[in-house]
Amino acid sequence: MKKILVARKLLDENNKKILNLFDAKLNKEDKLYSTDELISLSKECDGILSFPTTIINTETVKKLPKSIKIISNYAVGFGNIDTIEASKKGIIVTNTPEVLTDATADISILLLLGASRRAYEGRLAAESESWNWSSDYLIGKQMTGKKLGILGMGRIGRAVAKRAKGFNMEIHYHNRNKLSLELEQGAIYHKNISELFNNSEFLSINCPGSKETENLINEKTIQNFPDGVVIANAARGEIIDDEAMIKAMKNGKVFALGLDVYRGEPKINQKYLKLKNLFLLPHLGSATTITRINMGDRAINNLNQLLNYKQKPADQVN
């Protein structure tokens, strides 16, 4: 049987499947392997089932054993892997698209609602047992009938748009390319992000993380938003310039921010934690049982296709 290194703990349903197909080294203690440990444990292995926390950068790829033919990433993103260097070394990289679309779209809506309706402040007040109702107490922003900008109209962005229509929101979006009328479903395309931001009373960030999107939300681009915008990020933390965002949250340009992802996870810029207009989650976008099982199955299927059937994996990204 082909040998696989599983870099983090899988759910039991996935463990059963991978052990039936491969001689798999499981990480039962869910230890976060160092680079040296990853390289050592992958010796004589044919593939690695990696995770978003498995950093396989240029130097790591160069040091991987020659036996490694595939890195199957347990995520829709693959920014933790140097795919270019992997290609140079003849290593295929795959991801797990589609299966986490609905769960992540749900979280995007939760972030928008939690931030706009001041859920964090409400929780603090409720726990204090000293709040008093009044007509102007903890007034938030209502999503109904407002303009929602979607930055990145891929599968997840379109799923967010579908949900937002339940709030009768007017959907605007920016994407690398304009979608077909069938996929747009009435959404309004903006080729320029400044035009999108001009039309975003609420913004949902759902674009991939890359060098092009790093710090896309910065001190300059924030000025394009209407005053009091609500922003949610369920994509990648690096898309937001933290210092610029914190400044905008303090001066009211940004009414509230919802984050499921942030730069340097699990660490976060400590200045955020001093702000009450932040609704914060610990990267829960795909955290439902069925989604995580499906992600594991997809990652295992990519390994199976290449190593056991000599076929091109369905989700190859490089």
Catalytic residue numbers, as ranges: 236, 265, 283
Residue pair 54/9 in contact by the 8 Å Cβ criterion: no
> Residue 48 forms beta bridges with which residues?
5, 71
Residue 289 CB neighbour total at 10 angstroms: 9
Phi, psi (deg, nearest 5) at residue 242: -60, -45
Which residues are within 8 A (CB) of 180 and not within 5 positions of it... i.e. 6 or more apart? Answer: none
Cα 159 from Cα 163, distance rounded (Å): 6
Element (H, E) at 294: helix 289-307
Largest CA distance in the chain: 68
Residue pair 260/281 in contact by the 8 Å Cβ criterion: yes
* Measured torsion, CA atoms of residues 128, 113, 227, 218, in degrees rounded to the nearest 10: 100
Cα 257 from Cα 220, distance rounded (Å): 17
> Residue 126 forms beta bridges with which residues?
none
Phi, psi (deg, nearest 5) at residue 63: -90, -5
Q: Is 161 helix (H, G, I), strand (E, B) or coil?
A: helix
Phi, psi (deg, nearest 5) at residue 273: -70, -10
